[in-house]
Structure 1
Amino acid sequence: MCNTLEIPHLEARLEPSRDPGHLFSVNMHPETSQLTRAYLDLLKLLKWTRFCVIYGDQSDLLLLQDIIQAPLQNDVEITVRQAKRGTMRETLKEIDKKGIRKILAHLNVDDTYMLLKSALQVGMIDPSHHYIFTNLDLETINLDDFKHNAANVTGFRLISREDPRVQDILHQMETYQVYSGSKILNSTHPRIIKTETALMYDAVYVLAHAVQQVDASTRLRLVNLSCEGDQAWAFGSSLYNYLNLVEMEGLTGRITFDRGRRYEFRLDVLQLKDTGLKKVGEWNPTDGLNFTSRQDMITSSSVFSNKTLIVTSLLEPPYVMVRKSEFPLIGNEQYEGFCIELLESISKIVGFKYKIELVPDGKYGALDKDGMWNGMVLQLLEKKADLAVTSLTINYVREQVIDFTKPFMNLGISILFKRPREESPGLFSFLNPLAIEIWIYVIAAYFVVSLIMFVLARFSPYEWYNPHPCNPDNGVMENIFTLSNSFWFAVGTLMQQGSDINPRAVSTRIVGGIWWFFTLIIISSYTANLAAFLTVERMVSPIESAEDLSKQTKIAYGTIQGGSTMTFFRDSRIPTYQRMWAFMENHEPSVFVKTSHEGIERVKKGNYAFLMESTMIDYTIQRKCGKFGKCEKQARH
C-alpha cells in the first residue's frame, strides 16, 4: 500500500532479505543476510563441524536458510530441530543422545530462557556444551541460574551499552521510575533497553532528520490520500530519498542506508562469564569479527580456563602408572596411563593446566568409624586438590560430599583367586577313574567271591569228577576249584580274559554269573573314564560365588583398606555380605591390603581371594596370570 501511494514506510523488525527496488520501505533492523554473515563468521572461527540448529516457528526457519545452506566446510554436519515449549526437554535429550554438543538457537526471548532452563534440567549446561543465540535481546534474560555452571553461552547485541547516549537514556528511565513511584523488579539486574525499543527510538530521529531536510528544500505539505484512488503523495519520493541519505549515531550505533537497507552497523559479541554477559568482541560488515580476548572464543568458556589445577591421584595400573625412562623425569611427565591420557585431553578442551600430586595416605577415600573421610576424598574436601582423576568408584556416600563426572566405565565387584595347580599324571594315575572306596570294595568283593566259589565247589557233588574217565572204578575224585584256582577264576573274569576253569554245579554257576555281570559294569565304567582322566583336566573351582566364600573359612578373603569395596561390605544389609564383613573384620592376620598390587601378590601366594572391581581383575588376568599360573574370576556381585 505504501509503495502504491509512494508513502515512505519505516519498520524496525527482522525480515527476510528482499529486493528493495519494488518497495517504498526503509528498515531500521539489519538485514537477515548481514546477520547471517556474522553468525557464519563466528561458526568458522569456532570451527564447528557438527552442531544443531534450533528454531521456533516456520518463519524462524526461513530466516535460518542462509546458515543451513551456507558452504561452511565439506565435513560439516548440521542437524535441524524445532523447539516447542511442551517438548523442549525431549528435543534436547534427543540432541544429546546423538552426541551433539554445539547448538545454534534462533528463538524469541521467552523460548530462549526456556531452552536454557530445560538444558539445565537435563544436564546440558556445562563446559562441554556451547550455545549461540541469535536473539539480539539476550541481555534481557536473567542468566543467574546458568553463569555459575561454566556454561558456554554466546550471543550478539545491537545496542552498545558503553555509548553515552545509551547510558543517558538508561539514567532517565531509572529516574522516571523512582520519580513516578514505579517498583523496580530486580535492582541487581543491569538496566537494559530492548532492541525493538531502541530501533523505534532511532526511527523517530531518522524520520525527523529526513523531514527537516525535505522541509528545508521544499515546503512540505500534508494531504489526504485514499486507498481507492490513484493519487500518490507528491513528497513521498523526496522523503524516501532523504531517508536514505540520513547518517547519524543512534542507540543502535551508526545508522546509514542503501536503498532502504541498513549497513555499517556494529554487533557486540557477548560471552557468559561468572559475573554475567560480557562483551568479548565486535562484528561489522566491513571488518568482520574482531575480538578483545580471542582465547575466550577459541577455547571453551570455563571457570578453569588458564588456571593450574592440583590433581590428586594414586598409582593403580593401568589407570595411573610410573613412566619408565632411562632419564630422570619430573612433574607430570613421571606418570602415564589411561587416566593420565584422559586428563591431558580434557585439559586441552577446557583450557587449564594441571599438576599431579599423589594422595599421601594412598587411599581412595572412605568414611572411618569416627565419620571422618580419608584418601583422595579428604584432599578434595579440604581443598588441597581441585580434581581427583583415578579409578574412583561412584557410590552414594561419596556423592554426598563430592561431585563426579559421568562414569567412563561400568563395573561390579568380582573375586580373584588362584586356581589349584594342575598335577601331571603319576605312576598310579590309572586309579583315578574310581574312588579309593570303590577300589576297596572291588578287592573285598574279589576275595569274597573267590572264597564262596571255593566253599560251594567243595560242598557240591557236581564239582567233583573222576580224573581218569577210562577207569570208572577209580575211587579218587578231584575238584577243579581249589583255593588258588578259585582266585584265578575271579581274576580272569575281572580282567575280561576268562580261564579254562568253569563251574559245573548250579550254585557255582549262579555265583559266577553274578560276578561276571558285576565285572562287566565295573570294567566298562573304568575303561570309559580312564582316557578322559588321563587327557582332560578336571578342575573343580572351590569358589563359585560370594555365597561359597561366606560358608567356608579355609580360604581367606579381603579388600583394599579404605576403598569403596570395603565400604560396600561394611554398610551392606544383605546377610551374605554381613557374614563376609564379619569374617574380614575379625580375621587374624588382617585380610585388608593397602593397594591392589599387594592384594594380587597375596593371591599369587595362594589360599587368598581378593575382592575388587571387575575391570581391574580383567586387566590382572590378561597381564599377569601367565606369570604365576592360572587365576580365576568369579561372577559379579
Structure 2
Amino acid sequence: CSLMKLGVAGIFGTQSDVTSMHVQSICDALDIPHVEARWDFQLQRQRLPINLFPRPAMLGKAYVDLVRIWGWTEFCLVYEESEGVIRLQDFFKEAQKYGWRLHLYQFKSGEAYRDLFWKIKVAGDNRIVLDVKRENIYTVLKHAQQVGMMTENHSYLITSLDVHTVDLEDFKYGKSNITAFRIVDMGSPELQSLFDEWSQFSVFGRKTQTHQRTIKTQTALIYDAVKLFAKALADFDTSKTVVFPPIFCESGEPSEDAIGTSIRNLMKLIKIQGLTGEVKFDQQGYRSEFHLDLLFLSQDGFKKIGGWHSSYGINITLNATSEYNSLLLQNKSLIVTTVINPPYTMLKDSAQLLSGNDRYEGYCVDLIFELSRQLGFKYRFKLVEDNAYGIKNDKGEWNGMIGELIRG
C-alpha cells in the first residue's frame, strides 16, 4: 500500500504463498498488474496473476516422462516440505496406470537427513526422486554419501530447477547418477551478454571480477517478467497514454486510469524470447509450453544430455547418451545372465580345466567382451539355473533370465 501511494505500474512477486495471496487480493481490488515467478500449486483462481513459472502439471509430466524413459518400475519419492507431495502427485497417477511400486519418505524436522537415508538403505531402495529446497541439496546429498547412498548403484532425479547453481564438486567422482532439469537457457546470447556485463561490477569503488557464470531460476524468471511487462506496456502506450496516479488502499477502489486488466490480458497474448526460453501463456495465464534442458552430473560438472519439451517430450542426444552410458558403466562389475544355446553362448571344448568367463564362447560372449572393452566395465557370466529365457506363470512371476533381471 505504501508503494501504491507513490504510483506504481505493477507489482512483481512475492515468493511466499501466503503473502502472494494478500498481494493478489489487493491487486485484484485495485486493478494493478501482478506478475509472479514462483511455483504455485493452485489449479484455479478467480483472478489469475501472470506467473512465469512453468505450470506444475507440465513440470510433473517432465519428471514422469524421464522415469518412463529410464524404465523405472520401483523407486522412492523423498521430499522435505508438505508441498513436495503435490509436486510429486503425477507419479502416483502414473503408478496406478503402469503398476509402479512407489515408496514415500519425508524428512522430519529436527532430524538429520542421514537418519532417513539409513531407512532407505535398509529397505534396499537405490532409485530416488528427491524434492528438497535448493539451499539444502548439497547437505542432503552429503548425508546420503555418509551412509553409503551415493555409490555407482544409486540414481537421483532432483526436482529443483536450480541444481545447476549448486556446487556438487564432492559428488562428481562417485559415479552416482544425478540428473535434473534446467529451464534457464544457458545458450541465450542475451544471458551471455548479461554475464559479460556482470563479470565486472563496482564494490566500494573497486572493480571486482566474478567467475561463476550461472543464474538462479527465480532471477531469470523475474528478468523475463520485467521484459514481458515492459513489452506489454510499450504496446499499450501506442494506443493510449499511460499514467500511474497515487492509489490509496483505504478506498478499496481502482483509479479511473487503472489499466491492470488490460495489461494482464495483453501479456497473455505476447510472446518473447527470454533467459528461460520462449515465454508465452495459455488462456488461463499459465505457462504451459516451455523447454527444459536435461542435465547429468559428470566428472566435469553438469552436462546437457538432452531436453524435454511440453509438446514433444524427452529427447536425449546420441553423443550425450554414449558418454552418459559409458560414465555409468566405467569400472562397474556386472553379472551377465545367459543360457547355453549355440551359437550364442556355448561351453568351450578344452582338454584343460577352464574357470570363470574362459569356459564360454559364442556370439554373445564376444559381444559382451567388446562392450566391456569400449565402456570400461568388468563382468562375470552366470548360467541361469533353470536354463530358460523366461516365461510368466499364473501368479505373474517370471522364471529364467527375465526373472533374474526383474529381481535385480
- With normalisation by structure 2, the TM-score equals 0.72
In structure 1, what is the equivalent of residue 176 of structure 2?
A: 151
Give the CA deviation at 1:140.
1.2
1:271 to 2:290 alignment:
no
In structure 2, what is the equivalent of residue 142 of structure 1?
A: 167
Deviations 1:547-591 (A, max 9, x none): xxxxxxxxxxxxxxxxxxxxxxxxxxxxxxxxxxxxxxxxxxxxx
Give the CA deviation at 1:171.
1.5
1:202 to 2:237 alignment:
no
Give the CA deviation at 1:68.
2.9
In structure 2, what is the equivalent of residue 79 of structure 1?
A: 103
Change (3 A) 1:27 1:110: same
In structure 1, what is the equivalent of residue 234 of structure 2?
A: 212
Tell me, in whole angstroms, the C-alpha distance in 2 between the residues paired with 1:310 and 1:46. Answer: 20
Deviations 1:217-250 (A, max 9, x none): 1112323334343523532221111111121111
**Equivalent position to 1:244, from 248, 268, 275:** 268
Change (3 A) 1:29 1:122: same
Give the CA deviation at 1:281.
0.6
In structure 2, what is the equivalent of residue 289 of structure 1?
A: 314
Give the CA deviation at 1:116.
1.0
Give the CA deviation at 1:293.
3.2
Tell me, in whole angstroms, the C-alpha distance in 2 between the residues paired with 1:301 and 1:141. Answer: 24
Change (3 A) 1:213 1:89: same
Deviations 1:423-461 (A, max 9, x none): xxxxxxxxxxxxxxxxxxxxxxxxxxxxxxxxxxxxxxx
Change (3 A) 1:295 1:164: closer
Q: For 1:335, give the aligned amino acid.
A: R
Q: Report SS of the residue matched to 1:224.
A: coil
Tell me, in whole angstroms, the C-alpha distance in 2 between the residues paired with 1:268 and 1:211. Answer: 31
Bigger Rg over Cα: 1
Give the CA deviation at 1:136.
0.7
Structure 2 unaligned residues grouped into runs of 5+: 1-24, 335-345, 382-408
In structure 2, what is the equivalent of residue 37 of structure 1?
A: 61
Contact kept, 8 Å, 1:152 with 1:301, in 2: the verdict is no
Change (3 A) 1:121 1:105: same
Contact kept, 8 Å, 2:131 with 2:160, in 1: the verdict is yes
Tell me, in whole angstroms, the C-alpha distance in 1 between the residues paired with 2:49 and 2:252. Answer: 19
Deviations 1:18-67 (A, max 9, x none): 225x1240001101111001001001111111111111111222322233
Change (3 A) 1:297 1:229: farther
Q: Report SS of the residue matched to 2:54.
A: coil
1:353 to 2:372 alignment:
yes
**Equivalent position to 2:254, from 223, 227, 232:** 232
Q: Report SS of the residue matched to 2:232.
A: helix
Tell me, in whole angstroms, the C-alpha distance in 1 between the residues paired with 2:119 and 2:202. Answer: 45
Deviations 1:490-536 (A, max 9, x none): xxxxxxxxxxxxxxxxxxxxxxxxxxxxxxxxxxxxxxxxxxxxxxx
- With normalisation by structure 1, the TM-score equals 0.48
Change (3 A) 1:194 1:98: same
In structure 1, what is the equivalent of residue 337 of structure 2?
A: none
Give the CA deviation at 1:115.
1.4
Change (3 A) 1:386 1:279: closer
Q: Report SS of the residue matched to 1:217.
A: coil
Give the CA deviation at 1:352.
5.3
Map 1:66-465 onto structure 2 (within 5 A).
66-71=90-95, 73-84=97-108, 86-176=111-201, 180-182=206-208, 184=210, 187=211, 190-233=212-255, 234-258=258-282, 259-293=284-318, 296=321, 302=327, 304-305=329-330, 324-326=347-349, 334-335=358-359, 353=372
Tell me, in whole angstroms, the C-alpha distance in 2 between the residues paired with 1:114 and 1:297. Answer: 30
| Percent identity of equivalent pairs | 30
Q: For 2:73, give the aligned amino acid.
A: T
In structure 2, what is the equivalent of residue 56 of structure 1?
A: 80
Change (3 A) 1:66 1:260: same
Give the CA deviation at 1:124.
1.4
Contact kept, 8 Å, 1:13 with 1:196, in 2: the verdict is yes
Change (3 A) 1:96 1:294: farther
Change (3 A) 1:328 1:47: farther
Deviations 1:251-301 (A, max 9, x none): 111011123211331100000111110000111111111111387399766
Give the CA deviation at 1:144.
1.1
Tell me, in whole angstroms, the C-alpha distance in 1 between the residues paired with 2:262 and 2:141. Answer: 48
Give the CA deviation at 1:75.
2.9
Give the CA deviation at 1:198.
0.7
Tell me, in whole angstroms, the C-alpha distance in 2 between the residues paired with 1:115 and 1:297. Answer: 29
Q: For 2:152, give the aligned amino acid.
A: P
Contact kept, 8 Å, 1:6 with 1:24, in 2: the verdict is no
Give the CA deviation at 1:17.
4.0
Contact kept, 8 Å, 1:106 with 1:133, in 2: the verdict is yes
Tell me, in whole angstroms, the C-alpha distance in 2 between the residues paired with 1:388 and 1:127. Answer: 15
Contact kept, 8 Å, 1:11 with 1:26, in 2: the verdict is yes
Contact kept, 8 Å, 2:292 with 2:309, in 1: the verdict is yes
Q: For 1:32, give the aligned amino acid.
A: P
Tell me, in whole angstroms, the C-alpha distance in 1 between the residues paired with 2:97 and 2:324. Answer: 20
Tell me, in whole angstroms, the C-alpha distance in 1 between the residues paired with 2:76 and 2:149. Answer: 14
Alpha-carbon RMSD across the aligned residues, in angstroms, is 3.5
Contact kept, 8 Å, 2:64 with 2:90, in 1: the verdict is no
Contact kept, 8 Å, 2:73 with 2:101, in 1: the verdict is yes
Q: Which has the higher contact order (CA 8 A, sep 6+)?
A: 2
Tell me, in whole angstroms, the C-alpha distance in 1 between the residues paired with 2:315 and 2:81. Answer: 32
Tell me, in whole angstroms, the C-alpha distance in 2 between the residues paired with 1:294 and 1:68. Answer: 33
The worse-fitting range, judged by mean Cα deviation, of 216-225 and 52-61 is 216-225
Between Structure 1 and Structure 2, which shows a larger proportion of strand residues?
2
Change (3 A) 1:332 1:238: same
In structure 2, what is the equivalent of residue 19 of structure 1?
A: 44
Q: For 2:121, give the aligned amino acid.
A: D
Change (3 A) 1:324 1:264: closer
Provide the aligned length of Structure 1 versus Structure 2: 332
Contact kept, 8 Å, 2:126 with 2:155, in 1: the verdict is yes
Tell me, in whole angstroms, the C-alpha distance in 2 between the residues paired with 1:229 and 1:55. Answer: 44
Change (3 A) 1:297 1:51: farther
Contact kept, 8 Å, 2:129 with 2:158, in 1: the verdict is yes
Give the CA deviation at 1:304.
3.7
Q: Report SS of the residue matched to 1:60.
A: helix
Change (3 A) 1:3 1:301: farther
